Amino acid sequence: MVRAISSFPDRRVCVLGLGHAGLTVAAVLADLGFQVLGVEPRADVRALVSSGKAPFREPGLAETLGRAVASGALRCTDRITADDADATVFVIAVGTPLDERGGMHVDMLRTAAEDVARHLSDDDLVIVRSTVGPGTTRGVVEPVLRTTGRRFNLAFCPERTMEGHALEELRRLPQIVGAVSEEAGERAERFFEFLTPAVVRVRDAETAEMVKLVGNVHRDVSFALGRQPFVQRVRRRAGRQLGEQREVLPLSEDEIVAVDRRGQPLRVQFRTDIVEPRDIQHGEGLSPPQRQSLGEQHRTRLPGGDGPGFRDHGAETV
């Protein structure tokens, strides 16, 4: 039997962060009948969402957003105010980018938790969907919420959709729920039962955080293995034309960067079976991420890279 959202106590939801993970779940919840407030600091994103337009490409999102905004089920703001503090569920879906050493930045996560804490009421449910390392929900978000002295329920319920299939997978894939308490787990499970036909409860928040990371690793490895035939084809073609002593980094289907034994990069463009190399002195013409990737792969310092160990002149083999 389908439950009526109108009688569900947690039908008012605040989603913090309207990137891919946040906006897709906000739009689907609003389309189901939840009252959703989206919090997003970027003015250009807010303007698009408020007009019912998607800020990125995702099949079905524009139509879903249009319905949700037109019906008044989805609103957008840059911060939570006292007038918006009637939400009983807060979904944190902000970015957690990596730094140059591969560490995870949790500044935006902590800021979002502080924003929630300022408007937290007793027994509210806080759900973290950002990609985080094991222990982050309990170690970063929970201490911030505890400063309020309020009773609250906290759970980690990861986003697991693939771009291009997000709306479909939100309604089809099982939702993982890991919480810091039994009550929080039960509350989150009841909430997500409106969204997906299957909810999988795991032991705690740390387990759910690890499930998310393992899923990401599995996906990345699958993509990498699927790309290997292309990489090998590029290496063979580049090797025939440039000499086997050169290393190559594929950039696209028709372009690579080759690094010779002296650490000098060449940009190589393919036209069918013809290779036309063009020297790029000291990495000129490469973006900083490309320079950094080349330097890391080949232990070569190229100027202009934005990672540690890069210099402003010359190319030095280390």
Q: What is the pLDDT of residues 63-110, one digit of tens each?
A: 999 999 999 999 999 999 887 778 999 999 999 988 778 788 899 999
- Give yes or no for a contact between 183 and 214, defined as CB atoms under 8 angstroms apart: no
d(CA 133, CA 106): 10
pLDDT at 269 over 80: no
Domain 7-204 has CATH 2.60.40.10: no
The residue with greater pLDDT, 305 or 239, is 239
Choose the most confident range, by mean pLDDT, from 4-18, 133-147, 304-318.
133-147
Beta pairing class for 255-259 and 247-252: antiparallel
For the ranges 28-37, 133-142, 191-200, 249-258, which has the lowest average pLDDT? 249-258
- Banded pLDDT at 291 (limits 50, 70, 90): low
Q: What local confidence, expressed as pLDDT, does residue 255 receive?
A: 54
pLDDT of residue 260: 54
Model confidence at 265: pLDDT above 70: no
Residue 226 has pLDDT above 70, yes or no: no
Domain boundaries, the chain: 7-204, 228-317
- Could you give the angle at which helices 61-71 and 20-32 cross, rounded to 10 degrees? 50
Half-sphere exposure of 231 (CA within 13 A, CB side): 9
pLDDT surpasses 80 at 294: no
> Taking 60 as the threshold, does the pLDDT of residue 194 lie above it?
yes
Instruction: Compute the distance between CA of residue 93 and CA of residue 17 in angstroms, rounded to an integer.
Output: 5
End-to-end CA distance of the chain: 66
On the question of pLDDT at 297 being above 80, the answer is: no
On the question of pLDDT at 279 being above 50, the answer is no
Contact 256, 293 (CB under 8 A): no
pLDDT reading at 218 higher than 70 = yes
Using one digit for the tens of pLDDT, what is the confidence trace for 110-130? Answer: 999 999 999 999 999 999 999
Instruction: Tell me the average pLDDT across 192-210.
Output: 95
pTM above 0.85, yes or no: no
> What pLDDT is stored for residue 137 in this prediction?
97
User: Percent of the chain having pLDDT more than 70?
Assistant: 69
Strand partners, 250: 256
Read off the pLDDT of residues 129-174 as tens digits, 9 standing for 90 and up: 999 999 999 999 999 999 999 999 999 999 999 889 999 999 999 9
Q: What is the mean pLDDT of residues 224-253?
A: 58
SS3 readout for the chain: CCCCHHHCCCCEEEEECCCHHHHHHHHHHHHHCCEEEEECCCHHHHHHHHCCCCCCCCCCHHHHHHHHHHHCCEEEECCCCHHHCCCCEEEECCCCCECCCCCECCHHHHHHHHHHHCCCCCCEEEEECCCCCCCHHHHHHHHHHHCCCCCEEEEECCCCCCCCCHHHHHHHCCEEEEECCHHHHHHHHHHHCCCCCCEEECCCHHHHHHHHHHHHHHHHHHHHHHHHHHHHHHHHHHHHHHCCCCEEEEEECCEEEEECCCCCEEEEEEECCEEEEEECHHHCCCCHHHHHHHHHHHCEECCCCCCCCCCCCCCEEC
CA 200 to chain centre: 21
